Structure 1
Amino acid sequence: MEEIAVKVAVRIRPLLPKEILHNHQVCVRIVPNTQQVVIGKDRAFTFDFVFGQKSSQEDVYSACVKPLVISAIEGYNATVFAYGQTGSGKTYTIGGGHIASFSDELKGIIPRAIHEIFRNITEHHNTDFHVKVSYIEVYKEELRDLLELQSTSKDIHIREDEKGNTVIIGAKECEIETPDEMLSLLEAGNAARHTGTTQMNEHSSRSHAIFTIYLNQKQPKNGQPSNTDEEHIIKESERSFQLISSKFCFVDLAGSERVTKTGNTGERFKESVQINSGLLALGNVISALGDPKRKSIHVPYRDTKITRLLKDSLGGNAKTVMIACISPSSSNFDESLNTLKYANRARDIRNKPIVNYDPDWDRIDEMELQIKTLREALQNQQTSLLSRASQVSQDSLCQDKKRIHSLEEQVAHLQMESYHYKHCIDEALHFFWEFGDANSLKEGQWQKMKEWFNMIEELQNELPDLFGADSGFGNGGPDSHHITIFQLKRELKKCQVSAVYFW
């Protein structure tokens, strides 16, 4: 898993009219043709991006945020957050103010990113996108849903899923189909956010705000096209898809404050304490993550709500850009120096972004392929069994036919022998009747002949089918083939019945 550093940009706002009026001096300058900022006489810092007083909103967006939009479309988590002293231009840069009142040139990062995201979605014809948004603020260590103001902090919880990613339970997530819908929700959320007036800023943000865009996309694996005529023929269930989910977080941090300069009292003073405590905890997290020996150092994500919410963005699974906004006025020298130190430490943070494939979807895809393979194997086995059964039945039928033919030949042969024996016995019987009239027979001979006559009569009575009215003997005797004609006929009948039943 590749590690990449958190990218840090510094933006220097112009001097305010009241600062010019009071002859404030510029204490920050940019070294030409470099990404270095020098504050005071010789305190130099190097960053990934540096934007001077004349920089435009488009300059900041194109250099810092546009690559993150492309990464989010590719399936990476992305985060951009603005940090700095109150009144240094964070909300203006991030685009979390009343965006409807700004011209296109003055619109901040969020409105530009929204249009860029939907422009990319329309270009991906093969991918089915589902877009949702949520908008949460952290006010005095309480979570508040800016899209559903009736909810309370008790309804919203910060949890971690089975992969260790931070998720917000209970926050409203709105399905979005057009950029205008998303901009309307952003504007409504901005209007509901806690702001207040201080001596340093007429519209000071009194809370940290996180606007999150969730992108869920279903796309064919291996870049399979889905808009060809051939693909229309294929059933959708037979095609291979993968599910990718990503989120893009836009974080507008409340500005650090000094009570001596803001003049806050009462409720504003309590807000300042909570804001500075949260930013201090965030600084501790950044320091721990930027330490080269951080493997043995505890990272205090759980100290505040904002640090828990930024766990994925700082040291986690996200591509992150930090925009440090500073004032060039010499009256804010200390605050600007602290911001630059803060931002410089953030450059040492290493994140491990990966494309967020849904393993459950891949497992479903594998199971569908396995089911398809098993079905084909079962069908092949059934076909083989039917073919084998048909072959066996044909072989059995052939054997039965051969046996029937053999039995028929045996019956015919025995019938011929029986007829021959019958003919011989008829002649012998006739001869013996004639011979019986003679007086030359002895008493013993005549007795044997009489016994033979009786035996013939008994056989005629027992086997009328094989003897006519005039004759008699149909048994082959014990010296024949040990089988009677009756037994052969019964066997032949069984085989014929079996053959008829089979067909």
Structure 2
Amino acid sequence: MDRLNVGMQVEIKRSDGRVHGAVVTGVNHATGGVNVEWFEKGETKGKEIDFITLLKINPALNPENGAAKPPADVFKAPKAPSKVENTANGKRAMPQPKVRSSTASTPIDMDSTFVQAVTTNNHVLSTKSAKNTPETSEAPFLPAITPDAQPTASPSMDRLNVGMQVEIKRSDGRVHGAVVTAINQATGGVSVEWFEKGETKGKEIDFLSLLKINPALNPVKDVPKPQVTEIPRPPSSNSQKYPINNASKPPADVFKVPKLPIRRETISNGNGDGNRAQPKPKSRTSTVTTPIDEDVTYIQNTTISQPPLLEKPLKAMIPKFDEPPPSLVSTAKSACVNEVERLAQEREKRRYQQAEVKKQMEARKSIDPGNPNWQFLGMICDYREQIDFRPLRMDDYVIDNRITVCVRKRPLSKAEVNRREIEVTTIPNKDHLIVHQPQVKVDMTKYLENQVFRFDYTFDENSSNEMVYKFTAQPLVQTIFDRGFATCFAYGQTGSGKTHTMGGDFHGKTQDCTKGIYALTAVDVFRTLEQPEYSSLGLQVQCSFFEIYGGKVFDLLAKRAVLRILEDGKKSVQVCGLKEMQVFSADDVMKLIKLGSLQRTAGTTSANANSSRSHAVFQIILKQGRKEEVYGKISLIDLAGNERGADTTSSDRETRLEGAEINKSLLALKECIRAMSMNKKHIPFRFSKLTLVLRDSFTNQNAKTCMIAMVSPGMNSVENTLNTLRYADRVKELGSGSVDTKERDDSDE
């Protein structure tokens, strides 16, 4: 544990498998435990880790890591003969002294023994070279390494810490700051986060890409490769040059040690005189991590007591290494310094986020200066920038469904524009609608709650009545010529545009009946009737127009005569006294629509000054033969405006009773359509007079229904808009689905 210091940055592994950095705060040599601390989720955490476990994740802490051991067969030193001592009984072998080995941890830990050994070896080489013996070719040589050469190192991630502020480059070329949230040592990835457009975004960046933008993170400088030079020696025919290389090892015969004579001296003892071998001096084997480990081992094992010969050239052979780079030195920092640096980084991060929020606020204010709801308007504009708009077009395909549910959004009225209201509804494509509901938190923070609805068709504010008719009522015309019953009704709050869609455009207080669904349906009926396959059937076209108000039925074509709804013996609902007028052209239908519209019941509510307080039903009936049997029937219904109780608090008792009756009939209509879509045997059409009149449209097998939900785009009508959309959604229950967005440059943001 000598390499472990307090304040050192290490990697630890959590119980869930995550690996991140931590700081050593304490080292217990007795138990082998290491105390570490790290910063996570706004607080400092710590624990004690076993040193053996820490070594598995941080191999650089192992003092023996990186020391390469030479092969035993190459660096085996020549076995010296045993020392012999003359005794009175004879000669006996003396045990050799033990060799003490030490491991050096620095590349320049070379003592005078190494220098003296190299000097002695050179003296032997020069002596044999002068004698011109064959042993010269087997003598080894030592290459010299230039002092400036240093080992190369790969980029290290030690200077990168969690919470550090770095610069990142986006795919669109922008460069801005970000905060490091995680470091993956295995894959070399760095996770960063930044604050943009009111939300926190993040992505993972390769460490090498991060180094290009943040060169200060690279602790290793470009170091040239070590240059190998050879020491000249006497030429020989069998001489070979083997530069030192860790990847390739020279043959074993190069390092063969010549046998040297054993020096003897005469000693005398109590038993007699005799000669005995001089004891070999103790040599210390030193293992270093320099590129000349192999020659050092060879020379130290062949120590010869000779005077130095080439002392000056050997000093140039000893490599002079500079100090290791700063990343390899463990800089111990106190916990106070680390905490100050962390607080400084968090302060810079907060300032950057506040600056980004301020820029966004200024950009939102510039959209509509002076608007009191500019914050919500800016959020809605930011949301719409991410949407790929593909609205409904006239040439799109019309789907033939038994029950069709559509939504139409009207534009802002002049009164809403003068009140500086903002639009809270968005139609991105032909079958989705998004409501941006403004919300305020407890701390007065404003945000949007985006709710997505899906229907068969969605019409934006640019859609005309002709487009709405093509996808809603026009497919129903063919149904009545196939002996079927069709129903098309408009539903929505007061002032959402129901009468405009069904009856026609308004120019002031006058209504153009030629542009409504009533008139467009009549034109298509007479056009189809002129076709050869139907002209020979002898069909007659009759029309009726009545309203349901307060649970009673009034005939709009007979000066508001009160009608009764009864059921005959065939279980068919009959409206007794209803006036059905025969028409021969579309112009006759227009006259009836104008006559009946003047007789409708209208009232004034807090939500609308001219609110329709009744359900208006316009029926086109095809009858065949003299008995006038019903061949087909289409009912076009302009429902009364639904209102919440909160919108009618200032109204009188009669108005509130009207609203209760309207909501009751609308609930019954919804339940009948749901039962029809689910193919239930029982349809609850007796819950209200409206559903009782439309019984044939619910029970007939060849029946089709189309619902047009009308919504207002203003912010003040968002509650009514949500109620209308929920009502329409429960009719068919298609599900919200997903909205296509634009392709972003950074997909992991």
Task: Tell me the residue number matched to 2:651.
Answer: 264
Task: Tell me the residue number matched to 1:112.
Answer: 520
- Following TM superposition, by how much is the alpha carbon of 1:30 offset from its aligned partner in structure 2, in angstroms? 1.2
Secondary structure of the residue aligned to 1:42 is strand
Structure-to-structure mapping, 1:331-342, within 5 angstroms:
331-342=716-727
State whether structure 2 residue 469 is matched by structure 1 residue 61. yes
Q: 1-side partners of 2:415 and 2:454: how far apart? A: 30
Distance 1:158 1:52, change over 3 A: farther
Q: 2-side partners of 1:161 and 1:61: how far apart? A: 37
State whether structure 2 residue 308 is matched by structure 1 residue 308. no
- Following TM superposition, by how much is the alpha carbon of 1:258 offset from its aligned partner in structure 2, in angstroms? 2.4
Secondary structure of the residue aligned to 1:118 is helix
Q: 1-side partners of 2:698 and 2:677: how far apart? A: 10
Instruction: Say which of 708, 713, 718 aligns to 1:328.
Output: 713
CA contact (8 A) 1:94 1:252 kept: yes
- Following TM superposition, by how much is the alpha carbon of 1:78 offset from its aligned partner in structure 2, in angstroms? 1.2
Structure-to-structure mapping, 1:3-14, within 5 angstroms:
5-14=402-411
- Following TM superposition, by how much is the alpha carbon of 1:330 offset from its aligned partner in structure 2, in angstroms? 2.0
Distance 1:86 1:160, change over 3 A: farther
Q: 2-side partners of 1:160 and 1:334: how far apart? A: 43
TM-score, length-scaled by structure 1:
0.58
Distance 1:121 1:301, change over 3 A: same
CA contact (8 A) 2:560 2:599 kept: no
Distance 1:146 1:113, change over 3 A: same
Task: Tell me the residue number matched to 1:24.
Answer: 421
Letter in 2 for 1:305: K
Distance 1:86 1:158, change over 3 A: farther
State whether structure 2 residue 418 is matched by structure 1 residue 36. no
Q: 1-side partners of 2:506 and 2:544: how far apart? A: 18
Q: 2-side partners of 1:86 and 1:7: how far apart? A: 22
- Following TM superposition, by how much is the alpha carbon of 1:122 offset from its aligned partner in structure 2, in angstroms? 2.4
Task: Tell me the residue number matched to 1:208.
Answer: 615
Distance 1:193 1:161, change over 3 A: farther
Residue deviations 1:115-152 (CA, integer Å, cap 9, x gap): 22112222334332211111121110011111112632
Distance 1:166 1:63, change over 3 A: same
Secondary structure of the residue aligned to 2:597 is helix
Q: 2-side partners of 1:158 and 1:56: how far apart? A: 39
State whether structure 2 residue 636 is matched by structure 1 residue 250. yes
Q: 2-side partners of 1:325 and 1:210: how far apart? A: 17
Instruction: Say which of 285, 301, 317 aligns to 2:672.
Output: 285
CA-atom RMSD, angstroms?
2.9
Task: Tell me the residue number matched to 1:188.
Answer: 595
TM-score, length-scaled by structure 2:
0.40
- Following TM superposition, by how much is the alpha carbon of 1:86 offset from its aligned partner in structure 2, in angstroms? 1.1
Residue deviations 1:230-288 (CA, integer Å, cap 9, x gap): xxxxxxxxxxxx97700010011101112432442243232222212222333343455
Q: 1-side partners of 2:560 and 2:719: how far apart? A: 41
Q: 2-side partners of 1:264 and 1:211: how far apart? A: 29
CA contact (8 A) 2:565 2:693 kept: no
Distance 1:96 1:316, change over 3 A: farther
Distance 1:160 1:322, change over 3 A: farther
Task: Tell me the residue number matched to 2:543.
Answer: 133
Residue deviations 1:284-307 (CA, integer Å, cap 9, x gap): 434555568x55xx6432121012
State whether structure 2 residue 553 is matched by structure 1 residue 143. yes
Q: 2-side partners of 1:67 and 1:128: how far apart? A: 23
Distance 1:160 1:31, change over 3 A: farther
Secondary structure of the residue aligned to 1:58 is helix
Secondary structure of the residue aligned to 1:87 is coil
Q: 2-side partners of 1:56 and 1:214: how far apart? A: 27
Q: 2-side partners of 1:73 and 1:287: how far apart? A: 25
Letter in 1 for 2:647: K
Query: Which piece of structure 1 moves more, 110-119 or 271-280?
Result: 271-280
CA contact (8 A) 1:213 1:248 kept: yes
Secondary structure of the residue aligned to 1:133 is strand
CA contact (8 A) 2:683 2:699 kept: no
Task: Tell me the residue number matched to 1:95.
Answer: 503
Q: 1-side partners of 2:675 and 2:522: how far apart? A: 33
CA contact (8 A) 1:96 1:252 kept: no
Letter in 1 for 2:672: V
- Following TM superposition, by how much is the alpha carbon of 1:312 offset from its aligned partner in structure 2, in angstroms? 3.0
CA contact (8 A) 2:683 2:698 kept: no
Q: 2-side partners of 1:203 and 1:161: how far apart? A: 42
Q: 2-side partners of 1:150 and 1:95: how far apart? A: 19
Distance 1:315 1:333, change over 3 A: farther
Secondary structure of the residue aligned to 1:14 is coil
Q: 2-side partners of 1:252 and 1:122: how far apart? A: 28
Task: Tell me the residue number matched to 1:86.
Answer: 494
CA contact (8 A) 1:69 1:117 kept: yes
Letter in 2 for 1:35: D
- Following TM superposition, by how much is the alpha carbon of 1:47 offset from its aligned partner in structure 2, in angstroms? 1.2
Distance 1:337 1:165, change over 3 A: farther
Letter in 1 for 2:463: S
CA contact (8 A) 1:134 1:173 kept: yes
Residue deviations 1:54-110 (CA, integer Å, cap 9, x gap): 110111011211121122233321110011111111111111788994457x72100
Q: 2-side partners of 1:152 and 1:206: how far apart? A: 17
Distance 1:18 1:142, change over 3 A: same
Task: Tell me the residue number matched to 1:73.
Answer: 481
Task: Tell me the residue number matched to 2:604.
Answer: 197
CA contact (8 A) 1:157 1:170 kept: no
Which protein is richer in helix relative to its size? 1
CA contact (8 A) 1:90 1:325 kept: yes
Secondary structure of the residue aligned to 1:192 is coil
Q: 2-side partners of 1:150 and 1:28: how far apart? A: 39
Task: Tell me the residue number matched to 2:661.
Answer: 274
Residue deviations 1:344-380 (CA, integer Å, cap 9, x gap): 222269xxxxxxxxxxxxxxxxxxxxxxxxxxxxxxx
- Following TM superposition, by how much is the alpha carbon of 1:169 offset from its aligned partner in structure 2, in angstroms? 2.6
Secondary structure of the residue aligned to 2:659 is helix
Q: 2-side partners of 1:22 and 1:93: how far apart? A: 25
Q: 2-side partners of 1:145 and 1:321: how far apart? A: 24
Stretches of structure 2 lacking an aligned partner (at least 5 in a row):
1-399, 437-448, 735-749
- Percent of aligned positions with the same letter in both sequences? 35
CA contact (8 A) 2:543 2:619 kept: yes
Q: 2-side partners of 1:306 and 1:183: how far apart? A: 24
Distance 1:246 1:286, change over 3 A: closer
Q: 2-side partners of 1:248 and 1:337: how far apart? A: 29
Number of equivalences: 317
Kindly indicate whether structure 1 or structure 2 has the higher relative contact order, using CA contacts under 8 Å at least 6 residues apart: 1
Q: 1-side partners of 2:715 and 2:666: how far apart? A: 23
Distance 1:257 1:266, change over 3 A: same
Distance 1:300 1:97, change over 3 A: farther
